[in-house]
């Protein structure tokens, strides 16, 4: 009788609903991206790291540990300077290109959150990031002739890349929390790094 009574109780406990069904968070951060395809920069340092990030995310808990999350955000424009030695009309010249790069982004991921109903929850996640990357270019040509400036039209490119995230949530009320994470996007190697800090609330 004890065993029969214990079995339904165990099943009921295992099927318990998640402590929270959903959460909503807002974040700011520091965005870094690798742009070696643009050419020489800072003595082979091909990263730009002067972009700020702002965004929001919504997550849905299937269990206390598994959550699907969607998030979106934008980054401020950052300038990347590239110089290229060249020859124009038989004369040595230097081409200085200024690339101004900004992004809008949307991502979906599956997250695993450690622990249950405690104030501190580390998590890891992986997913796909869609990035609309806007690039504006302007060239200046320095030679024996006066400096010539040539602007180009802004180019927008859609990029799809896998990413991984590691971070934690820390609660300061039963529902409100502080969140931080590091998100790494991959292409042929590490392509982007985003460090985020934010606040959120559970529902």
145, part of any domain: yes
Q: What is the pTM of this model?
A: 0.83
1, part of any domain: no
Residue 92 has what pLDDT? 80
96, part of any domain: yes
Residue 90 has what pLDDT? 74
Residue 108 has what pLDDT? 98
What's the domain count of the chain? 1
| CATH number of the domain to which 77 belongs | 2.40.160.20
The 3-state secondary structure of the chain, one letter per residue: CHHHHHHHHHHHHHCCCCCCCEEEEEEEEEEEEECHHHCCCCCCCCEEEEEEEEEEEEEEECCCCEEEEEEEEEEEEEEEEEEEEEEECCEEEEEEEEEEEEEEEEEEEEEEECCCCCCEEEEEEEEEEEEEEEEEEEEEEECCCCCEEEECCCEEEEEEEEEEEEEEEEECCCCEEEEEEEEEEECCCEEEEEEEEEEEEEC
Instruction: Supply the range of the domain harboring residue 33.
Output: 19-202
Note down pLDDT in tens along the chain; length 203 residues.
333 444 444 444 445 789 999 999 999 999 999 887 776 544 556 788 889 999 999 999 999 999 999 999 999 998 888 887 877 777 788 888 889 999 999 999 999 999 999 999 999 999 999 999 999 999 888 776 667 788 889 999 999 999 999 999 999 999 999 999 999 999 988 999 999 999 999 99
Residue 8 has what pLDDT? 45
3, part of any domain: no
67, part of any domain: yes
95, part of any domain: yes
26, part of any domain: yes
13, part of any domain: no
């Amino acid at each position: 009788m004890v065993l029969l009574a214990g079995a339904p109780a165990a099943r009921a406990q295992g099927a318990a609903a998640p402590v929270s069904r959903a959460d909503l968070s807002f974040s700011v951060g520091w965005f870094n991206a690798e742009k070696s395809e643009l050419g020489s920069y800072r003595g082979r340092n091909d990263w730009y790291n002067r972009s700020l990030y702002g965004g929001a995310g919504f997550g849905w808990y299937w269990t206390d540990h598994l959550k699907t999350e969607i998030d979106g955000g934008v980054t401020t424009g950052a300038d990347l300077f590239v110089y290229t030695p060249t020859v124009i009309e038989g004369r040595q010249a230097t081409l200085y290109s200024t690339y101004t790069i900004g992004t809008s982004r949307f991502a979906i991921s599956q997250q695993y959150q450690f622990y249950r109903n405690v104030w501190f929850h580390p998590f890891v996640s992986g997913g796909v990031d869609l990035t609309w990357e806007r690039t504006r270019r302007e060239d200046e040509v320095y030679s024996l002739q006066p400096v010539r400036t040539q602007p180009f039209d802004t180019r927008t490119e859609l990029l799809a890349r896998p990413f991984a995230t590691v971070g934690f949530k820390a609660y300061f009320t039963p529902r409100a929390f502080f969140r931080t994470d590091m998100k790494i996007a991959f292409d042929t190697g590490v392509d982007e790094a985003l460090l985020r800090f934010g606040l959120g609330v559970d529902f």
